[in-house]
């Protein structure tokens, strides 16, 4: 069977689209995993007593902000019409 140039291009495009979908899924899984780690760091940091309170507060804020940014990115990636709602957070003392 002789294939035309357009058919070969269409097959190559389809394969590339499949590869992109797999990579997008892999990226999302990594982001979700990282978000879980950030949440865990935040939790452990609030339980710990080894650092000064100001240092623990900064670590918690950084972990929470990173978590929020990752989740926002996932929501926007999965739904182009997604609206991010800012939730109130604890105020630093």
- Structural domain includes residue 45: yes
Burial of 26 (0-12, 13-18, 19+ CB in 10 A): exposed
* H-type alpha helices, 1-93: 5-47, 53-78
Q: Is the pLDDT of residue 80 over 60?
A: no
- Structural domain includes residue 52: yes
Burial of 42 (0-12, 13-18, 19+ CB in 10 A): buried
The residue assigned the tokens 């929470």 is 64
Domain of 56 in residue numbering reads as 5-78
Domain count, the chain: 1
- Structural domain includes residue 21: yes
Q: Is the pLDDT of residue 36 over 60?
A: yes
Confidence at residue 14, expressed as pLDDT on a 0 to 100 scale: 93
Task: Identify the three-state secondary structure at position 75.
Answer: helix
- Structural domain includes residue 67: yes
Confidence at residue 92, expressed as pLDDT on a 0 to 100 scale: 45
Q: Is the pLDDT of residue 84 over 60?
A: no
Least confident of 26-40, 60-74, 76-90: 76-90
- Structural domain includes residue 85: no
- Structural domain includes residue 73: yes
């Amino acid at each position: 069977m002789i294939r035309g140039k357009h058919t070969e291009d269409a097959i190559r495009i389809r394969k590339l689209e499949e590869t992109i979908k797999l990579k997008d899924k892999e990226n999302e899984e990594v982001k979700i995993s990282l978000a879980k780690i950030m949440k865990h760091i935040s939790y452990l940091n609030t339980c710990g007593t080894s650092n000064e309170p100001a240092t623990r507060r900064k670590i918690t804020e950084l972990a929470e902000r990173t978590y929020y940014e990752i989740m926002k990115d996932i929501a926007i990636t999965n739904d182009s019409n997604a609206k991010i709602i800012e939730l109130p957070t604890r105020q630093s003392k």
